[in-house]
């Protein structure tokens, strides 16, 4: 029998100001990608501060994993909403993103100023093999967690082939989800997509402020009126902001195109940031020409070195697109505005999903079994990510094209980075730092 929580040791209620300080701190230190950010929030919110119970944290996490978009940022938004209602959710989600947005705008500006300098080129040369290794590591992690059956391996292979043949990303995702739904209807032995935290990290015997049996706040009570009001406000904000941009600049303007495209990508990004990167890369590089494939790799490298969700690399895409076209009559101003526009349309759907769907999830405390479709989507995403790794490897190893001699030193550095990340388990920041140092040393010697 599970031991009842010690209510005498229940933490005191958390004020909104306390929560604001915590979310700002989290936004400044949340390195390590979604897995690291989710683990950090679990350690801080469940184990150390005991602001929320283990079960409620996992309940929120499972819901966020079902949604398109960055699950770590959505989990922060959900927890902030649980604690302090709509203002808490907005504050938590915004502060989780704001530090990385500011830092990426500064880094993007520095990239446009010093990116072509010989030492800047040497630094970026060292980062590119690390980025290729990071993408392969993401595929490896997802494969270990997901590919538990032959049909999932087959689906990943078909996804890779479909991407090579030019199949649109949404078509691949919809087809995979349909296959997963069919399998789930006929088989019930799929393993869970993500295991719960281990028992030694659980806080099952200490009462939390928001415990399993705590009285629900008024804002968590579901009602159709509240649901439609939240959806209406979210849709209204999107229509007002995008419509205003289209009215001011026209339907063919870059800012209008960015708003429409990144709204679409935000609604299709099942599987995390690495799942949407191929979609964003194809559109930003090939379809719209906002930046080159090499610049996309540089942006991903910069995104890996900043806190916050990895999908914030879209701010780099927006900045370079606005900067190269000197939007609003000035490159830097155009870059900053474009980065903010892209960030707004990328994260707005995530806030709507949480603020509209949160009361329904809390009132039912029951999640539908969507393991089969989620596994199928993740398997398909693995194939897409492998294709992205191939694109990055091509630009890293053959910077002058297939007709030129490959860069053997870049190949060797890629192998070293893969070995350090996958086999040795070295941290991302250390691997990036090592690659940068080797790139600078290479430049100094040559």
pLDDT confidence of residue 307: 81
Q: Which residues contact residue 67 at a Cβ distance below 8 angstroms, ignoring those fewer than 6 apart?
A: 74, 350, 353
pLDDT confidence of residue 79: 95
pLDDT confidence of residue 202: 42
Q: What is the dihedral of CA 199, 204, 210, 214, to 10 degrees?
A: 140
Query: For residue 375, is pLDDT > 60?
Result: yes
- 6 forms beta bridges with 206
pLDDT confidence of residue 53: 87
Q: Which of 70, 69, 93 is nearest to 83 (CA)?
A: 93
pLDDT tens digit sequence for 89-129: 999 999 999 999 999 999 999 999 887 778 777 777 887 78
Q: Which residues contact residue 210 at a Cβ distance below 8 angstroms, ignoring those fewer than 6 apart?
A: 51, 52, 53, 56, 82, 83
Mean pLDDT of the chain: 82
Average pLDDT of the segment spanning 217-238: 88
- Three-state secondary structure call for residue 316: helix
pLDDT tens digit sequence for 246-285: 999 999 999 999 999 999 988 876 666 667 778 888 899 9
């Amino acid at each position: 029998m599970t031991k009842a929580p010690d209510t005498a040791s229940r933490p005191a209620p958390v004020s909104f100001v306390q929560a604001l300080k915590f979310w700002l701190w989290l936004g400044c230190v949340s390195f390590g990608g979604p897995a690291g950010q989710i683990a950090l929030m679990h350690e801080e919110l469940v184990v150390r501060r005991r602001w929320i119970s283990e079960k409620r944290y996992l309940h929120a996490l499972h819901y966020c994993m079902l949604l398109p978009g960055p699950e770590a940022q959505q989990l922060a938004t959900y927890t902030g909403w649980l604690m302090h209602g709509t203002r808490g959710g907005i504050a938590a989600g915004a502060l989780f993103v704001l530090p990385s947005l500011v830092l990426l705008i500064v880094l993007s500006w520095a990239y446009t100023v010093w990116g072509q300098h010989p030492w800047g080129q040497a630094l970026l040369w060292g980062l590119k093999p690390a980025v290729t290794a990071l993408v392969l590591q993401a595929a490896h992690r997802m494969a270990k967690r997901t590919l538990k059956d032959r049909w999932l391996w087959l689906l990943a292979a078909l996804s890779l082939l479909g991407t090579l043949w030019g199949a649109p990303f949404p078509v691949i995702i919809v087809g995979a989800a349909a296959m997963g739904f069919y399998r789930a209807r006929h088989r019930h032995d799929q393993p869970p997509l993500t295991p719960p935290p281990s028992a030694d990290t659980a806080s099952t015997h200490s009462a939390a402020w928001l415990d399993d049996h705590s009285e629900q706040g008024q804002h968590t009570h579901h009602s159709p009126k509240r649901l439609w009001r939240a959806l209406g406000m979210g849709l209204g904000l999107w229509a007002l902001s995008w419509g205003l941009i289209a009215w001011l600049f026209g339907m063919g303007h870059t800012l209008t195109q960015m708003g429409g495209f990144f709204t679409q990508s935000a609604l299709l990004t099942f599987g995390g940031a690495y799942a949407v990167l191929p979609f964003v890369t194809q559109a930003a590089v090939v379809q719209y020409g906002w930046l080159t494939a090499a610049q996309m790799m540089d942006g991903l490298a910069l995104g890996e070195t900043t806190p916050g969700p990895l999908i914030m690399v879209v701010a780099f895409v927006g900045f370079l697109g606005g900067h190269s076209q000197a939007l609003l009559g000035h490159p830097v101003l155009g870059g900053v505005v474009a980065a903010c526009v892209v960030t707004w349309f990328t994260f707005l759907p995530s806030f709507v999903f949480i603020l509209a769907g949160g009361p329904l999830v809390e009132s039912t405390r029951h999640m539908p079994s969507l393991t089969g479709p989620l596994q199928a989507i993740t398997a398909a995403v693995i194939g897409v990510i492998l294709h992205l790794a191939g694109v990055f490897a091509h630009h890293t190893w053959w910077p002058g094209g297939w007709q030129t001699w490959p860069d053997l030193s870049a190949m060797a550095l890629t192998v070293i980075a893969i070995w350090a990340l996958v086999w040795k388990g070295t941290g991302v920041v250390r691997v990036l730092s090592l690659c940068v140092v080797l790139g600078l040393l290479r430049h100094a010697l040559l």
